[in-house]
Amino acid sequence: MDYQTLQEYSQGWIFRHRELVLSEECLADIKPLSTRFANQYWRQNISAEATHASHFLGDDWPSHNGIWLEKGEWQAAWESDDMALPELLQAFSDWNDNTVVYFCYDINNVVQTTWRTFKQSWKNFLFYDDEPIMLAKKRMQVARFHSNGTYETGIR
């Protein structure tokens, strides 16, 4: 994989926001993929045709019936002073803290991190909440976040 620095990354500001300061250790574990590798990851794991969640076609797995099993709300937790991940999100997977996670905003914006770092910085990730999908390496559980403050978890 080829990565960009957070300074090079067009959405890097979400990880440097003054109201949600992240530790240096956390920042070092947030790795935006280069545009080329983001495209490749998206095409292989999300959609061969669509460039964004709003463009999914019927044959894209996120559009299939039965993928999304549970729904929850993230907005209230995001607006609170509590940094804890919403309960349903914490419980939806069997991922250990070192599980590699890909947070996919669109074909050009995919960020790799670990489940531990995502749990610590999830509010930063959702500053840019334009329908991202979260996948984990070699895992079937997925989550999709909506701009209206809701999310879905499921199995692909």
HEC per residue, the chain: CCECCCCCCCCHHHHCCCCCCCCHHHHHCCEEECHHHHHHHHHHHCCCCCCCHHHCCCCCHHHCCCCEEEEEECHHHHHCCCCCCCHHHHHCCCCCCCCEEEEEEECCEEEEEEHHHHHHHHHHHCCCCCCCEEEECCCCEEEEECCCCEEEEEEC
pLDDT of residue 130: 86
Residue 155's pLDDT band, with cuts at 50, 70 and 90, is very high
pLDDT of residue 128: 86
Residues 6+ apart with CB under 8 A from 21: none
What tens digit of pLDDT does each residue of 17-57 get?
998 999 999 999 999 999 999 999 999 999 999 999 999 99
Cα–Cα distance measured from residue 65 to residue 83, given in angstroms and rounded to the nearest whole number: 32
